[in-house]
Structure formats: C-alpha cells, structure tokens
C-alpha cells in the first residue's frame, strides 16, 4: 500500500493525524530518547555539573532513576526520571498531579452521567473547562486510570518494611440507590533504606477484625516482610488483626489518639490544663522518665479525673513502644501523623464530590492520590537515614 505524502514544510502540529498513520516503535523510541535528553540537560543545569563531571560549583549529585509512564499521541512512553541525592526533580514537560486531576475529572463526569450530580459539581465541571464528555469517553478514561491504580495496588512489595502505619477514613459511596459510609483503609511503610511508600489501599464496609485481617493477608501475599513495629490507633478489630496476622511485630499505639482518649474523659474546662501536663510525658527519652511523669499526673489528677487517669494507666505501656527504637525516629513513629497528613489531602479532594457514584470511582480517585504521593516521595531524599535504620536490628 502506498504511503501518504507529507508536504516538505509540514510539522507534526499542522499535519493531519490521518496522514501520519500509526506511530511506529522506532518513532516512539526516538521521541522517548529526545525527552530523556531534555531531562539530562535539565539535571545538568540544576546541579551545575554534567554526568561524571568534576565541578567546583556542583549543587547536588545524581542518584539513579525512577520509572514513569507518559501517555502521548504516539502511545505510551516508558521514561526514566533522574533522581537527586538531596533535592527533588520534576521534568518541565510533565504536569504535577496531572493523573490525579484526570481521576477527579473522570469521577465528576461519571457522577454527572449517572444523574447524581449537584449544582456544586456542575459548577466544578465548568471551572475545569469540561463542557461535555460522552459515556464512551468516560469509559476509556476510567479504564486507563483503573489500570494504573490496579498496578499500583497489586505491585510486588520487594522492599523490607521495618515500620508500618495503618489508618482508615470514611467516605460516602452510593450502593443500590442509597448512600452508605465505607472505610478506606490505607497502609504506609518505611523501608530499611529510610524511604517511605504507600503500600496498600482497600475499601471495606467497616473496620472489623475480618476486614483488617484480609487486608494484611493481601499485603503478605504481595511480599510484605521485615515488619518490626506497627503504628495505629487502638481500634479493637485492627489491634486484634495486628496481633494475629503480623506476628512478631511490636505495636505502637498512636500517642495523639491516646491523648484524645484521655482528654475525652476530662471536663471541658479542665482539658487545656490536663493536656498541657500530659505533653511532657511524650518528650521523655526513656521509659523510666516517662513513668515518673505518669506517676506525677496520677498523684495530681487521680481524685478529680479518675476515669482519665485509668485510661492513662491502662494504655501507657503500648504508647511508649517507640522508645525501644532509634531515638532519631521518635517524632516519626510515635503517632500516625504522617498518614493523617495524607488523609487530609484525600479529604480535601473528596470533599467536592460529597457522595461517590460507585466504589470504583472512589478507588480511582484515592488510588491516584496515593500513587502520585509515592511518586513524589521517590523524587525526594530519604525520610530516615540508612545508618539509623540499621540500628533497628540491634535494638529489637
């Protein structure tokens, strides 16, 4: 078959797609090579040194690469994004969080098509510049995003994760014509190299021993190993699942949730004073010093706030587990605050939705948020030093 004739002065921008034909592997490879060359130039400019170049003005060092898929008119390209030892780098031709925003557009459009949108959602659609989108277009967009989320959720866990955090947030999802709250359970891990990842995501009816156990078993099937400590709140089903499924790991009760539990048993007018006296307890570097503070609190408030002091006495041991691990990790493993920050980002984005039209749409948007967050972390320096992570084996 004769090939279409392209004018000599034509460019990719003014030549109709029908004249270009299907992109070949060689054309895609050429395009990928050009983008990789752009990244190398940007990195050299950013750190003020070329590859293997000695430079007195060097600002940073290269630290390998991380894979990233890029969907283009020529097809999907597999790129290798350079990483820096101390800084972060994002190529100029990539839009930050573009896949996450695509998931939000997809979700809003699905809500609109299924007749569950509100005026607020319609206004959001117009703000995003989306005037119309057919069911077939929504289906194709959703398929691509779902493939990315599934790949992210089911990827093998080849690293070792000494620290794990678990938490859940509740989102409303439409099911059989009714709106019902579902638990979105999330797993956050810190590797033995000191890097952090979001390693698990699922949507369940409620937080129960059975649902948490199933979630943990899926993580183990994917290769989860080396867990030394698990940080979570004191939800009965979650705690029991940790004890029975994640055998051999210590449990750290989140100190922030613990303090809230204690203060919930204190009259409103005294909460501020009791809270101020509680804080020094978690600034101690040894159990002995912390227990001394606890004894002082019980002596001071035992008669007036006996129920609160009993909660303190019953839970203090599990809330000080972090003191058995490297001291420089204390602020990052004594509570679930790191995962709470991620939860706030999820809520910020899901708040505009209100009620998800389906569990699939909730998984699509939240999965993309976690995928993008993990990609951001990969571009950053280690969360904890590799040297301090080596101390864990000696302390446990």
pLDDT above 60 (res 222): yes
Tell me what pLDDT residue 117 has.
Answer: 41
Tell me what pLDDT residue 114 has.
Answer: 42
Residue 66 in any domain: the answer is yes
Residues 178 and 195: beta-carbon distance below 8 Å: no
Question: 351: closest CA among 365, 367, 370, 338?
Answer: 365
> Which DSSP string do the residues of 32-82 spell out, in sequence order?
HHHHHHHHHHHHHHHHT--TT---TT----EEEEEEEEEEETTEEEEEEEE
Residue 243 in any domain: the answer is no
Residue 315 in any domain: the answer is yes
* Mean pLDDT score, 118-133: 49
Residue 364 in any domain: the answer is no
For residue 328, give the DSSP letter: G
Residue 296 in any domain: the answer is yes
Percentage of the chain beyond pLDDT 70 is: 77
Tell me what pLDDT residue 145 has.
Answer: 78
Residue with tokens 């004191």: 234
Residue-wise pLDDT for 9-37, tens only, equals: 433 344 343 333 444 565 567 667 767 87
What is the domain range of residue 40? Answer: 17-84
Residues 366 and 201: beta-carbon distance below 8 Å: yes
Higher per-residue pLDDT: 229 or 374:
229
**Distance of alpha carbon 182 from alpha carbon 244, whole angstroms:** 24
Residue 308 in any domain: the answer is yes
Residues 203 and 359: beta-carbon distance below 8 Å: yes
* Mean pLDDT score, 390-395: 80
How many domains would you assign to the chain? 2
pLDDT above 80 (res 136): no
* Mean pLDDT score, 134-143: 62
Q: Please provide the average confidence, as pLDDT, over all residues in the chain.
A: 81
pLDDT above 80 (res 66): yes
Tell me what pLDDT residue 249 has.
Answer: 94
pLDDT above 70 (res 322): yes
Helices (H), the chain: 17-20, 25-47, 98-113, 119-127, 135-154, 209-221, 236-245, 255-263, 271-278, 287-301, 306-319, 330-333, 337-350, 359-378, 386-395
Residue with tokens 């990539």: 94
**Distance of alpha carbon 246 from alpha carbon 230, whole angstroms:** 9
pLDDT above 70 (res 125): no
Tell me what pLDDT residue 113 has.
Answer: 39
- pLDDT category at 205 given cuts 50, 70, 90 is confident
Tell me what pLDDT residue 91 has.
Answer: 80
Residue-wise pLDDT for 71-105, tens only, equals: 655 566 788 888 888 777 878 767 555 555 555 55
Question: Between vectors from CA 344 to CA 343 and to CA 350, what angle results, nearest 5°?
Answer: 85
For residue 185, give the DSSP letter: E
Residue 351 in any domain: the answer is no
**Distance of alpha carbon 24 from alpha carbon 237, whole angstroms:** 54
pLDDT above 80 (res 324): yes
pLDDT above 50 (res 3): no
Residue 150 in any domain: the answer is no
Which of the residue ranges 77-91, 146-160, 225-239 would you say has the lowest mean pLDDT? 77-91
* Mean pLDDT score, 258-268: 94
Query: Which among 317, 335, 353 is the end of a domain?
Result: 335
Residues 321 and 252: beta-carbon distance below 8 Å: yes
Residues 146 and 360: beta-carbon distance below 8 Å: yes
């Amino acid at each position: 078959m004769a090939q279409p004739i392209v004018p000599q002065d034509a460019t990719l921008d003014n030549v109709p797609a029908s004249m270009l034909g299907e992109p070949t592997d060689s054309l895609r490879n050429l395009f990928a090579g050009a983008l990789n060359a752009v990244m190398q130039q940007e990195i050299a400019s950013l750190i003020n040194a070329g590859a293997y170049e000695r430079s007195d003005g060097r600002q940073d060092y290269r630290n390998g690469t991380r894979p990233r898929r890029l969907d283009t008119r020529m097809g999907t390209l597999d790129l290798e994004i350079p990483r820096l030892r101390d800084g972060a780098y994002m190529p100029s031709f990539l839009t930050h969080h573009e896949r996450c925003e695509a998931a939000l557009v997809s979700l809003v459009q699905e809500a609109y098509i299924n007749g569950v949108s509100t005026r607020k959602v319609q206004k959001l659609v117009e703000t995003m510049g989306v005037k119309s989108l057919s069911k077939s277009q929504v289906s194709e967009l959703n398929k691509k995003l779902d493939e990315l989320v599934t790949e992210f959720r089911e990827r093998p866990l080849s690293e070792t994760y000494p620290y794990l955090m678990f938490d859940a947030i509740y989102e409303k999802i439409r099911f059989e014509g009714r709106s019902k709250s579902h638990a979105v359970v999330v797993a956050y891990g810190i590797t033995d190299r000191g890097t952090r990842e979001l390693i698990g995501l699922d949507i369940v009816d409620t937080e129960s021993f059975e649902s948490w156990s199933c979630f943990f078993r899926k993580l183990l099937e994917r290769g989860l190993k080396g867990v030394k400590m698990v940080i979570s709140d004191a939800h009965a089903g979650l705690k029991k699942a940790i004890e029975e499924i994640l055998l051999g790991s210590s449990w750290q009760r989140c100190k922030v949730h613990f303090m809230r539990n204690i203060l919930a048993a204190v009259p409103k007018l005294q909460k501020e004073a009791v809270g101020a006296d509680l804080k020094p307890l978690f600034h101690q570097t040894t159990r002995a010093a912390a227990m001394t503070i606890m004894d002082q609190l019980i002596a001071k408030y035992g008669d007036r706030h006996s129920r609160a002091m009993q909660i303190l006495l019953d839970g203090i041991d599990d809330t000080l587990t972090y003191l058995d691990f490297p001291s420089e990790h204390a602020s990052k493993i004594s509570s679930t605050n790191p995962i709470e920050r991620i939860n706030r980002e999820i809520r910020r984005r899901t708040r505009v939705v209100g009620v998800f039209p389906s569990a699939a749409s909730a998984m699509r948007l939240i999965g993309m948020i976690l995928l993008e967050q993990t990609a951001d972390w990969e571009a950053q320096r280690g969360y904890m030093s590799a040297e301090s992570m080596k101390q864990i084996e000696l302390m446990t």
